[in-house]
Amino acid sequence: MRSYKPNMGNLGLDQLLIEMESAEDLLIIQDLDGVCIPLVKDPLTRRLDPAYVTAARKLEGNLSVLTNGEHEGRRGVNRLVEKALGNSDLPAQQGLYLPGLAAGGVQLQDRFGVLSHPGVSDAEIAFLTALPNLMQSLLEERLAKLMPLLNTSTLKHHVQLAVLDTQVSPTINLNGLFSLVPDDVRTQQALQTMLQELMDELLVSAANAGLTDSFFLHVAPNMGSDGNRERIKPAVCGDVGTTDIQFLLKGALKEAGLLVLINRHIARHHGIAPLGEDFNVRTAPTSHEELLALCNKNISADQMPLLVGVGDTVTSNPCPDGMGWLRGGSDRGFLTLLQDLGKIYNCANRVVLVDSSGGEVDRPNLLDANLKGISDPEDPLNFDVLVPSGPKGYVKWFESLAERRACKYNMQES
């Protein structure tokens, strides 16, 4: 029996399907990893269902992705699209890549794979390009001290797995190292502390290179921010907590990315970009209140589409002193903003949470009636739809939506 707030999960996927299939101006803003891609310890082994790629194409103009991963590079989602279709040329020819924002909002792509980095300087790109090699050397040095029983070859292997050499969001991921100490919470926490210290050192390196205000650290999952930085979620039994830290460009926040995608959607459908043709995450406000005010000032009700936000990483944990909650997660910000835009515009925006605990990564799940570790009784973020069946269940629903909308609007056009 459910014991979380009554308005949590008050809609089923079938009800959501009925709402969405007939919405004239619809924009789905969707995360990727954990939503339509099962979470795995080694990101290079991720798989994307070809049925999802086909459905996404049918929803052209109604779907934009918003991910902290990246589109391009050997670890990019574009490679997953190509593998899913068994053809590296077909996606660009037929426009089958996933359109939207990656790297938290600084990497923009259309469905043909045309890529840009609005607001990013050459100096910032150069610094990011050099980071993976530096990450590897620093991580190898620290792991040798922290886990002295690892032989040299095993150590190097796990360092290579841990450092994700993405183009504009180089990351260190601890999942492979956690698998070496699955029941040793103390060592897992020590790994998290080591990672935080390593990434802090890289921020100092950026400052020494004259890039003091260029970057920040995105902790995933996190326990919210203390105003200056995102808090690590310490490992506990049954929940490894923080698995990775990304070195991101300042402004690369999904909340700002949401506004970029809305602005582009309106420009496409109404012929004018209400926030400006050059609006991007690096020129956007950073606070929730400022982002809401910007929309309210510049976007009229008849321009605002019906929004559906889909994510998987939302956290809430009691404060150590027992007073209040530490709320975080990489999807919390944009889902909350999307929800609040619905209130301002008197629109039935929907928030969908997909259970990503069924993969290879331990994290809280939706089977817990209290949504422990995800939400709390005072949480301002309400999930309209809960998807306990995970990415597999979501993709199946997504296919149905794409098929129904294609049939409906093709029939109207004919």
Quick check: is 2 in a domain? no
118-169 pLDDT, tens digit per residue, is 999 999 999 999 999 999 999 999 999 999 999 999 999 999 999 999 999 9
Confidence of residue 1 (pLDDT cuts 50, 70, 90): very low
172-203 pLDDT, tens digit per residue, is 999 999 999 998 999 999 999 999 999 999 99
- Strand-pair category, 230-232 with 244-249: unpaired
Quick check: is 262 in a domain? yes
pLDDT of res. 39: 93
Same domain, 285 and 373: yes
Domain count, the chain: 2
pLDDT of res. 411: 54
pLDDT of res. 23: 94
Same domain, 224 and 306: no
Q: Which residue's structure tokens are 């105003």?
A: 227
Quick check: is 117 in a domain? no
91-120 pLDDT, tens digit per residue, is 999 999 999 999 999 999 999 999 999 999
Cα 237 to its chain centre, rounded Å, is 25
Same domain, 287 and 381: yes
Out of 229, 249, 269, a domain closes at 249
Quick check: is 4 in a domain? no
Does residue 404 have a pLDDT over 80?
Answer: yes
Give φ, ψ of 271 to 5 degrees. Answer: 80, 5
Does residue 4 have a pLDDT over 60?
Answer: no
- For residue 300, which of 281, 332, 318, 274 has the smallest C-alpha distance? 274
Same domain, 225 and 322: no
Same domain, 374 and 392: yes
Confidence of residue 41 (pLDDT cuts 50, 70, 90): confident
Same domain, 223 and 302: no
pLDDT of res. 359: 77
Quick check: is 7 in a domain? no
- 245 in helix, strand or coil? strand
Q: Which residue's structure tokens are 């609005």?
A: 118
pLDDT of res. 6: 55
Query: What's the pTM value of the predicted model, to 2 decimals?
Result: 0.89
Residue 208's CB is within 10 A of a number of other CB atoms, namely 9
**CB contact set of 62 (below 8 Å; sequence gap of 6+):** 26, 27, 28, 405
pLDDT of res. 58: 96
Out of 191, 224, 249, a domain closes at 249
42-81 pLDDT, tens digit per residue, is 888 999 999 999 999 999 999 999 999 999 999 999 999 9
Say if residues 311 and 391 touch (Cβ distance below 8 Å).
no
Does residue 238 have a pLDDT over 90?
Answer: no
Q: What is the C-alpha R_g of the chain?
A: 21
Confidence of residue 2 (pLDDT cuts 50, 70, 90): very low
Same domain, 375 and 352: yes
Q: How far is CA 88 from CA 36, 71, 115, 208, in A?
A: 20, 14, 16, 41
Quick check: is 6 in a domain? no
Out of 199, 217, 249, a domain closes at 249
| % of the chain at pLDDT higher than 70 | 97
Determine the Cα–Cα distance for residues 343 and 306; give it in Å rounded to an integer: 12
Residue 273's domain is classified under what CATH number? 3.40.50
Q: How far is CA 36 from CA 183, 337, 356, in A?
A: 29, 22, 9
Same domain, 402 and 269: yes
Same domain, 145 and 65: no
Lowest mean pLDDT among 188-192, 214-218, 387-391, 410-414: 410-414
pLDDT of res. 5: 59
- Rounded to the nearest integer, the mean pLDDT of the chain is 94
Quick check: is 359 in a domain? yes
Same domain, 130 and 239: yes
Q: Which range marks the domain in which residue 244 is found?
A: 122-167+170-249
Q: Which residue's structure tokens are 């506990």?
A: 236
Does residue 40 have a pLDDT over 80?
Answer: yes
Quick check: is 8 in a domain? no
318-344 pLDDT, tens digit per residue, is 998 888 999 999 999 999 999 999 999
Please name the amino acid found at residue 95. G
pLDDT of res. 414: 40
Same domain, 257 and 245: no
pLDDT of res. 123: 96
Same domain, 104 and 137: no
